[in-house]
Amino acid sequence: MKSFFKERSQTFPDATVNINCKELEVNKWVISDFIIANLIPVVATRPFPLDELMLMSSAVVRFKPAYIFEWGTHIGKSARIFYETTKAFNIHCEIHSVDLPESADHVEHPHEKHGMLVKGIKEVKLHRGDGISTAIEIYKSLNTDSSILFLIDGDHSYESVKRELSTVIDVVKNPVILLHDTFFQSEESGYNIGPCKAIMDVLAGKGNEFKVISTQRGLPGMTLVYKD
């Protein structure tokens, strides 16, 4: 199989700004240059449009996670985005990417293309199994207080997103959570707004404990949830 991994040499200065302030802030010019130079040639804009690439990379640059967990990676695009970001901004991070078992029956099952975009990258560990269960099992084995980032694919049902988000919040001390496919539109649109509603319901009982940043204006949408 053709390898899609190519080492990229262009690095960028630290884009974090005002880390002692409450609102998330990064240098968007630096992040934009990075996306154009390092991400677009590798992952293009599907399934993550430019504003979502901006939010994903900004979250990594701002919180500098020691570990990233993501599932539903398909061919490894999200894992590759995280890898390119940590590499370019000199963030030491181990990425755990979970996908369906080979025997699973799912319309987006990658089969032989599993993790295609990250195979051969030592910083990315590929796993098979239930995403949230596998991620939490690995997280617990690490026994760490380091910053942890999770990517939850909201392409599933309300119940699935609610379960996965609730689990991360309940188990992980100070999680940084990205959720994909979370665009909210009025119900007559016919869009799947279950993921967005799940986020609202999970956070409803948390008071002002978490901050929420969302890309809007159109599909698919991404939401960042982190502790205030």
Q: Note the pLDDT tens digit of each residue in 10-27.
A: 899 999 999 999 899 999
CA 209 to CA 228: how far, in whole Å?
6
Q: CB 28: neighbour CB atoms within 10 A?
A: 12
Question: 110: Cβ–Cβ under 8 A, 6 or more apart, which residues?
Answer: 74, 75, 99, 100, 116
Domains (range + CATH), the chain? 64-227 (3.40.50.150)
Q: Can you list the positions of beta strands (E) in 37-191?
A: 67-71, 94-99, 124-128, 148-153, 175-180
Amino acid letter, residue 142: L
Write down the number of H helices and E strands in the chain: 7, 7
pLDDT at 99: 87
Averaged pLDDT for residues 83-91: 98
pTM (2 d.p.): 0.93
Give the sheet arrangement for strand 175-180, strand by strand. 124-128, 94-99, 67-71, 148-153, 175-180, 222-227, 210-214
Find the helix packing angle between 50-63 and 77-88, rounded to 10°: 50
Helical pair 194-204 and 158-171, crossing angle rounded to 10 deg: 40
Phi then psi dihedrals of residue 27, to 5 deg: -80, 100
Query: For residue range 134-157, what is the model confidence (pLDDT) as tens digits?
Result: 999 999 999 999 999 999 986 778
| Span 177-216, pLDDT tens digits | 999 999 999 989 999 999 999 999 999 989 899 999 999 8
